[in-house]
Amino acid sequence: MRTSFLFDHPSPCRECGKAAVKRTTTEWFMRDEEKPPYTGNLIVLKEQQRRRILWDGETYIQRYGYFCSLNCTSAYANKMVSTFER
């Protein structure tokens, strides 16, 4: 079951307000010297010794649906139960 949601903006966690993070992909290389210059159409966010972090410039992700963490999902769910089951 897919629990992460994708957004076209940094959608805030509904519990704590933390913004969704950029959905990135990482390229790994055996040696830094073997890393070819990037020629694709993604944005290079970071170049580190043996890896390159890429972003499409528009996709953000919250790992747990509308929430940043399982703690936030359960906190929100418990508030809902308290609100609606009184």
The residues that touch Zn ion, with contacts defined as CB under 5 A, are: 13, 15-16, 18, 68, 72
Nearer to Zn ion, 16 or 44 (CB): 16
Question: What DSSP character marks residue 25?
Answer: E
Nearer to Zn ion, 45 or 70 (CB): 70
Q: Which of 54, 56, 53, 66 lies closest to 20, judged by CA?
A: 66
- Residue 84 beta carbon to Zn ion: minimum distance, rounded to whole angstroms: 21
* CA dist list (Å): 2 to 46, 63, 75, 80: 27, 9, 20, 23
Least spacing, CB of residue 86 vs Zn ion, in Å: 25
Give 18 or 35: the residue with its C-beta nearer to Zn ion: 18
Report DSSP state, residue 65.
B
Closest contact distance (angstroms) between CB of 46 and Zn ion is: 24
